């Protein structure tokens, strides 16, 4: 299944990307290669193969959650563009 130029434009629009004609051409080729690779899965004999979400059997490989001291407030706010008291100051949300 080859992807058409209109499909590439549609995907670019969904991603809010403005692409030049050469970029559209390159992306179309890359998307076609991806679809071709994924299509090869349909050629596999998968009778009796259980669906999986991960190739390895993992069960929550998390590190222990151990409390530790927080950063000093001065360090936390050091790179903030603007602070107000002990909080970050951010611009108000734009009206919809």
Looking at the structure of the chain, the number of domains it has is 1
Range of the domain at 35: 5-41
Pairing of strands 83-84, 87-88: antiparallel
| Percentage with pLDDT > 70 across the chain | 97
* Residue 61 covered by a domain: no
CA distances from 62 to 24, 58, 68, 77 (A): 42, 10, 17, 29
Task: Find the CATH number of the domain harbouring 14.
Answer: 1.10.20
> Residue 62 — pLDDT band, cuts 50, 70, 90?
confident
Asked if residue 96 has pLDDT above 70, the reply is no
Helix (H, G, I), strand (E, B) or coil at 7: helix
pLDDT at 86 (0 to 100): 92
Asked if residue 33 has pLDDT above 90, the reply is yes
> Residue 16 — pLDDT band, cuts 50, 70, 90?
very high
Which pTM does this prediction carry?
0.48
């Amino acid at each position: 299944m080859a992807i058409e130029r209109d499909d590439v434009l549609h995907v670019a629009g969904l991603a809010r990307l403005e692409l030049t004609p050469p970029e559209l051409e390159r992306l179309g080729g890359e998307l076609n290669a991806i679809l071709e690779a994924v299509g090869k899965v349909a050629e596999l004999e998968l009778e009796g193969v259980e669906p999986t979400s991960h190739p390895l059997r993992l069960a929550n490989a998390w590190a222990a959650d151990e409390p530790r001291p927080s950063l000093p407030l001065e360090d936390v706010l050091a790179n903030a563009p603007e602070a107000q008291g002990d909080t970050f100051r951010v611009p108000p949300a734009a009206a919809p």
